[in-house]
Structure 1
Amino acid sequence: MGIILVVGGVVIVVISFLGCCGASKEKKTMLCLFATILIAVFIAVLASGILAYVYWNQVETELKQEMLNTIEQYSKDEAITQAWDTVHQLFQCCGISVDADNSQNVWKRNPNFQRASEKVPASCCKSQDSRNTAQCQADPTTNAYTQDCYFAVKEFLQKHSHIFGGVAIGFVCILFFNILFSCILLGKIRRTEKVYVHDIPRS
């Protein structure tokens, strides 16, 4: 996650540098590169939004399947373990329901939870006290979250979809106006250069 943030920050700084310097110094090369990058980002964001809307049902299916697959990697992969622990505590849920009456046993797909002493991760427990957690892991019906994480995440996305959509539309509008203004400035620079060339006296 840290690497992604650093790379994203560097990309934003580079794009901002191209736009600011290109506009202040009236450099066509910088402005062209700035506009080209923004157009590429604009198309990518727009295409992602359209595809997400069109293939939403498929995205839901893939999301559930991916969640089921990663359960097997819990405690083996640090990133997956942290992600699941965060989901459990944030959404107050535990795993995914395989069927109507076997919601907790999904963790049996992970060898670490085939033991009788621990049936669910500690993050599934409502109380994080060590003694209560041990009892909860041994008998999840006493103090563990029972909500299905897939449905909890799905409900959250559906409930906040208008916010995500609004942010996306705002971002696309900002990109559009940046592209528009950079193209207008490029046209102005080119017209100025033409006028300057015509005004040079011929020997």
Structure 2
Amino acid sequence: MCGIALIAVGAVVLSALNPQKPFYEGYLGAPVAIVVLGVFVFVLAFLGCCGAIRENYHMIMAFSVLLTIILICELGAAIAAYAYRSKIAHAIREEATKSIHNYHNNTDVQRLWDDIQSSLHCCGANSTADYDVLPPSCCPEKPQDCTPAKAYERNCVDVLLDKFNEKIVYVGVTGIIICFIEVVGIVFGCCLAKAIRKYEVV
């Protein structure tokens, strides 16, 4: 169940961030890793179930040890992500600022920013001052004479960071729940292995 939850969370985060992929590109490895970890946990859970059904001491101990290693890795990744959160925000802002300077020179960049501004109701990377002439996508009704007075008030980097942080909260809450379940799984696995070993000795 934990494995399926990890796969689902990773897939949802990837899907949500994909439209703004150029800004998150360096950080999409995290949800991909969550999906891979979910597959591994799912396989590991199957191993644990087989060990419990067969009452196999070695399989259950292997399950408990591997699950402990996964738990330690998850906690390490969570601590690292929390420690680097301000650097991630700075990098996203820097990438967005660099990208918007090519708005009039690159059609792909222009299409990306028009999509972001229209869908997220924002204008510019940092403010409307990023443009000499505001594009129609900066205004709600898409007029050809879009002006700062008519434009969306929020800048897109702040909106993107809010969206990013929102997904991180989901991942964090899910991670805490999964870690708790994994701890319970490790404890039960060790207790079951101990009971089996005791029975074998007797």
TM over 0.5: yes
Q: Which residue does the alignment assign to 1:54?
A: 83
- Identity fraction in percent: 27
Q: Which residue does the alignment assign to 1:188?
A: 195
Gap regions ≥5 residues in structure 1: 98-102, 109-115, 128-132, 196-203
CA distance in 1, matches of 2:199, 2:75: 34
Query: Any conservation in 2 of the 1:104–1:120 contact (CA below 8 Å)?
Result: no
Query: Any conservation in 1 of the 2:122–2:154 contact (CA below 8 Å)?
Result: yes
Is 1:31–2:45 an aligned residue pair? no
> Structure 1 residue 147: deviation in Å?
1.2
Q: Which residue does the alignment assign to 1:152?
A: 159
Q: TM-score by structure 2 length? A: 0.58
CA distance in 2, matches of 1:51, 1:163: 17
Q: 1:106 to 1:13 in 2, by over 3 A?
A: same
Q: Secondary structure at the match of 1:93?
A: coil
Q: 1:66 to 1:180 in 2, by over 3 A?
A: farther
CA distance in 2, matches of 1:32, 1:121: 62
> Structure 1 residue 48: deviation in Å?
2.2
CA distance in 1, matches of 2:99, 2:85: 21
Question: Based on CA coordinates, which of the two structures has the bigger radius of gyration?
Answer: 1
> Structure 1 residue 183: deviation in Å?
1.6
Gap regions ≥5 residues in structure 2: 1-13, 16-31
Q: Please, which of 41, 65, 68 is the counterpart of residue 70 of structure 2? A: 41
Q: Please, which of 124, 139, 143 is the counterpart of residue 146 of structure 2? A: 139
Q: 1:46 to 1:75 in 2, by over 3 A?
A: farther
CA distance in 2, matches of 1:50, 1:155: 20
Q: TM-score by structure 1 length? A: 0.58
> Structure 1 residue 8: deviation in Å?
6.2
CA distance in 1, matches of 2:96, 2:74: 25
Q: 1:175 to 1:120 in 2, by over 3 A?
A: farther
Cα RMSD, aligned residues only: 4.2
1:1-203 correspondence to structure 2 within 5 Å = 1=14, 10-68=39-97, 76=108, 81=112, 85=115, 88=117, 91-97=120-126, 103-104=127-128, 106=130, 120=135, 122=137, 126-127=140-141, 133=142, 135=143, 139=146, 141=148, 144-155=151-162, 165-195=172-202
Q: 1:162 to 1:7 in 2, by over 3 A?
A: closer
Q: 1:9 to 1:142 in 2, by over 3 A?
A: same
Q: Secondary structure at the match of 2:73?
A: helix
1:126 is matched by which residue type in structure 2?
P
2:187 is matched by which residue type in structure 1?
L
